[in-house]
Amino acid sequence: MEQVSSLKTGVKYKDTPIGKIPVDWEAVTLSQIAEINMGQSPPSKDCNEQGDGLPFYQGNAEFGSKYPSPQKWCKRPKKLADEGDILISVRAPVGEINIAPHKCCIGRGIAAVQAKDIHDKFLYQSMLLYRKNLKKMAQGSTFEAINRKELAELLTLLPPFPEQEKIADILTTVDGAIEKTAQVIEKTKELKKGLMQRLLTRGIGHNKFKKTEIGEIPEEWKVEKLKDIALRFYNGGTPDTSNENYWGGDIPWITGADIENQKVNRIRRNITHEEVENSATNIIPKRNLLVATRTGVGKLAIAPFDIAISQDITGIILDSQKALPGYIYCYLDHKADRLRSIIQGTSINGLLRGDLESFMLPLPLVNEQKKIADILTSIDDEVEKEMNHKEQLETLKKGLMQVLLTGKLRVAV
């Protein structure tokens, strides 16, 4: 990030239709600095999913973090975009932005913008900043979309070319750091998947295995139902929202929506002790299991502190002589799809208590459970550290875009 140290202030500004800008910058329309090519969808008979022809992009469904991923290919394209063109979704939802990684076919949901009298990477970063403007253009119509005329008249800022280049270099450097961090996160997650599969079926240091109703496991392990290793299952409930005396207390209360990435990531509401006495909610002690059994089946967490739960969640207090929350959490996380599959075909939107209690899982001795949980938790910690780093980089990028692309801070060239 050495480039950021070259920022300078104290520059004079002038008024333009899009606000004050540095005196040596210009406010121009997109059509003055770029060519705009609106997409046109080919007949469906000319498209395929087998990779025959050019990649075909028709909307934001294919858009990723920077480059789109094709879902279809086209042998007889109507409209083409060149490698490096900026691809903008112009039909609902409007404003998703990517870069064409290669020559491709574009449908009517996409416009391709090719830089002419502007640095291409500077234009890309500017378009990311103007996404909100594009979305505003599309509001109010019966179908969310923007046309070529509206896109052509989009106002953008044009610094001197050396400054465009320096700004683009700074922002691209941050993008690179974000992308590398995202790759580390994905690789670490893949590593965890492989370790989960091995550790939760083969254990640590075992040579003999046996076949069971849930697959092959070490000979020393048992297969147990969840109810046989639990001391108690707790239901949750929602306080009367019309009674102000029940809300705003010091007891955190969560629903299934508050569990994200298999953790309690936010506390939106707190309740009072009076509410606990007068409703169906229960307080689950710290370090015990929380399993979403209604909305969001498959979500789970370990309570980070004493916490009250809604009817979306079941709290499970395990028998510590038989099972550790960390190990059971890891196994249920590994088998979240199996939990979700239990509710398929039923008339209720959730996981029945009896089905949860009868859920079968392999059970090592407690000391091996701890070793397995510690290994997998250490990987979770690494993922969380990298995700926090990525979030910090994204915050930095947003801040830099706001000041560099508007001329509020200048770079030395």
- Tens digit of pLDDT at every position of the chain (413 positions): 444 444 455 558 899 998 899 999 999 999 999 999 999 999 999 999 999 999 999 876 566 667 788 889 999 999 999 999 999 999 878 888 999 999 999 999 899 999 999 999 999 999 999 988 888 887 756 678 899 999 999 999 999 999 999 999 999 999 999 999 999 999 999 999 999 999 999 999 999 999 999 999 999 999 999 999 999 999 999 888 788 878 888 999 999 999 988 999 889 899 888 878 878 899 999 999 999 998 888 899 999 999 999 999 999 999 999 999 999 999 999 999 888 888 865 555 788 899 999 999 999 999 999 999 999 999 999 999 999 999 999 999 999 999 999 999 999 88
Domains of the chain: 1-17+159-206+367-413 (1.10.287.1120), 26-158 (3.90.220.20), 222-363 (3.90.220.20)
Burial class (CB in 10 A: 0-12, 13-18, 19+), 227: middle
Q: What angle do CA 340, 345, 347 make, to 5 degrees?
A: 100
Torsion sign (Cα): 190, 196, 197, 202: positive
Let me know: does 361 contact 224? Beta carbons within 8 Å.
yes
Q: Which of 332, 300, 292 is nearest to 196 (CA)?
A: 332
